[in-house]
């Protein structure tokens, strides 16, 4: 078992907590359950999409390309 709060910390907004995962999609992309969003008091259902948003993927790609160019210059 994994703590979703640690595994997906980068996807959660400040103060959000996932308390219970009730189901997961067959492909593992979506997790549903209940938890708390930010500093709000009511408990809410959540649908966690584990695939990063396009902006995050773009930032990762740019970083990897930059590392590749840096390595190429050193050689």
Give me the residue spans of the domains in the chain: 4-74
Q: Give the model's pLDDT for residue 14.
A: 79
Whole-angstrom distance, CA of residue 9 vs CA of residue 13: 8
Q: Give the model's pLDDT for residue 46.
A: 85
Task: Please give the structure tokens belonging to residue 1.
Answer: 């078992």
| Burial class, 18, CB count within 10 angstroms (exposed 0-12 / middle 13-18 / buried 19+) | buried
Per-residue pLDDT reduced to its tens digit, 12-68: 777 888 888 889 889 888 888 888 877 777 888 888 887 766 666 677 777 778 777
Q: Give the model's pLDDT for residue 50.
A: 78
Question: Residue 44 pairs with which residues in a beta bridge?
Answer: 35
Whole-angstrom distance, CA of residue 51 vs CA of residue 28: 10
């Amino acid at each position: 078992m994994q703590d979703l709060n640690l595994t997906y910390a980068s996807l959660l907004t400040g103060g959000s907590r996932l308390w219970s995962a009730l189901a997961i999609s067959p492909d593992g992309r979506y997790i549903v359950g209940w938890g708390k969003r930010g500093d709000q008091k009511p408990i809410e259902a959540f649908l966690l999409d584990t695939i990063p948003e396009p902006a995050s993927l773009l930032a990762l790609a740019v970083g990897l390309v930059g590392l590749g160019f840096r390595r190429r210059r050193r050689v």
